[in-house]
Structure 1
Amino acid sequence: MKLAISGTYSSGKTLTSYALAHYVDIPRTRARTMRELLPVAVPGKTLEQCTGAELIQLIVRRHVERCVHESHLTKGFVSDGSSLQEWLYGAVRVIVGINPNDSVHLSDVEAVERTPEMAFFDEVMGELGKAIKDHVKQTYDAFVHLPNELELAKDGHRPVNERFRRLADEGIAAAIDELGIPRHVVGGTLPERLNQIVDLFGFAPVMTVDEAIGRAQEEYRAVDMTIESDRAWAVTAAS
């Protein structure tokens, strides 16, 4: 089973995928996250400071890392999201702007100005989407889609507003359905999510749900939450 945990920003994908991997003893893909890629790809910048070209670089880097890590797990895995989310996070910016925080004043029927640069960005996203959808179609057996029901984490890494979150969530779900891949919406608390997933796919737990969550939380606490500009300084100083 090649299973992806999908959803928008702050839907709980990472912790759910960590816990599920422990709970049912399934390998988890370990491609670097955007926050881990930032100080390498665009040193000193946060996501909200990235240009359209830099965002494209980040999307491609993450997609390539996903492909490499997935190719090593031929017998199945659980993935923290999929390349669809990076693509949609880019594509939605055609509506809300390269930095979504700059468009919080717009209504739900308004979009940012379609400049020549934005039109080109839109065209690039469309072409990237073709390649990413092909990969996703050929790779995943099913998706567990986490609803947009949690508060946005205020960790300084997420240049998004609630409209962006909603549009990305709707876009990810629509793309999965377009590809004809089974999509199961699973919400609730983390224990409820894990037990629903086990029931859906007939997984056999190898430990208690509390133990799996505890191990996942330990892993999650080890993720570097430092703001990108601070980590870029540390990387430079150490080299």
Structure 2
Amino acid sequence: MHRKDIRLVISGTYSTGKTTTATALSIATGIPLINALSAREILTDIYPGRRFQDMNATELMALGLKRFEERIREEAVLYKGKGSFISDGSVLNEWIYGTVRMKVGLNPGSKMFHRVAKAILGIPGRKFYKKYMDAYGQVAKIHSQLWYTDVVHLPVEFPMSADGHRPVSERYRTLSDEELIKGFSSIGKEPKLISGSQEERLEQIIKQYNLPVVVPIKEAVARAKTIISSNRESVSRKIIEQYNEPTLKEKIKFITEF
């Protein structure tokens, strides 16, 4: 008998292919995918004309809160509908991404000069940011413990995608990869490590959780890649079209606000 009432998180840091895995798994199994807006889509809605590497602490916190709200709403809708869902990342992932920024800098994908300046000038804001992230983490942990039944973690297996829009660094990816595993383990959701090609990942996950197959795996992966590629091209084009070079005042605020 196939597994029922599963609320599965596909976890992993940036550029581990979790969006493709989650989307393809949803297509293959027929289990609904959390349809929350991506960080890029949220960026174009609430801060049109901005890039991740130009954002200050206030803007990043607003983006994180909007992302949290998106996930909570979509999870509630799907849970009431069918009881099962597949989540591309989770509220715990979002929290850990923020805590790692405390270690490597708020904008690890920005230029070296900006990172050094922010590390020095942003010291006064660190205390508040840490308290904010501690509070955020408490809520994220409770929600994750109650709502998610299982966690699959995709380790870092290949270099970060060079698409020009990744707001992180390789060091950030390494640290967040480690913290994600620790984070889920700390709430009793020991993540199952899954690696390999997209087809191999789906085969392992489906077998591990005894999930149904309504679309052949190879076809599901191909369809997922087409959907994601089209969406990313559209969002990237929108970011480029909206982009406005920050004013001197905005640049100063970016550098001085942690």
Q: TM-score, normalised by structure 2?
A: 0.83
CA root-mean-square deviation: 1.9
Give distance in 2, aligned partners of 1:222 and 1:228: 12
Cross-structure match for 2:91? 83
The 3-state SS of whatever aligns with 1:207 is coil
Q: Deviations over 1:25-46 (max 9, x none)?
A: 1110100000000012222111
Matched pairs, number: 228
Deviation readout 1:127-146 (Å, 9 max, x if unpaired): 11111111111110011000
- 2:208 counterpart of 1:206: no
Give unmatched runs, 5+ long, in structure 1. 106-111, 234-239
Q: Does 1:97 align with 2:105?
A: yes
> Where does residue 230 of structure 1 map in the other structure?
240
CA drift at 1:16: 0.3
Given the alignment of the two structures, is residue 41 of structure 1 paired with residue 19 of structure 2, yes or no? Answer: no
1:17 is aligned to 2:27: no
Deviations 1:145-169 (A, max 9, x none): 0011122011122121111001111
8 Å CA contact retained: 2:10, 2:151? yes
Counterpart in the other structure of 1:188:
196
Q: Equivalents in 2 of 1:187, 1:104: separation in Å?
A: 33
Rounded to whole Å, the distance in 1 between the matches of 2:203 and 2:224 is: 15
1:70-219 superposed matches below 5 A:
70-74=75-79, 75-101=83-109, 112-113=119-120, 115-219=123-227
What whole-Å deviation, never above 9, does each CA across 1:94-123 have from its counterpart, x for those lacking one?
111111135879xxxxxx457111221122
Say whether the 8 Å CA contact 2:110–2:167 is kept in structure 1.
no
Q: Deviation at 1:219?
A: 1.2
TM-score, normalised to structure 1's length?
Answer: 0.90
Alignment check: 8 A CA contact 2:7 2:150 kept: yes
Which protein has the bigger helix share?
Answer: 2
Which stretches of structure 1, 4 residues or longer, exceed 6 Å deviation after superposition? none
Distance 1:199 1:170 in 2: 25
Give me the identity figure in percent.
Answer: 36
Counterparts of 1:83 and 1:145, CA distance in 2: 14
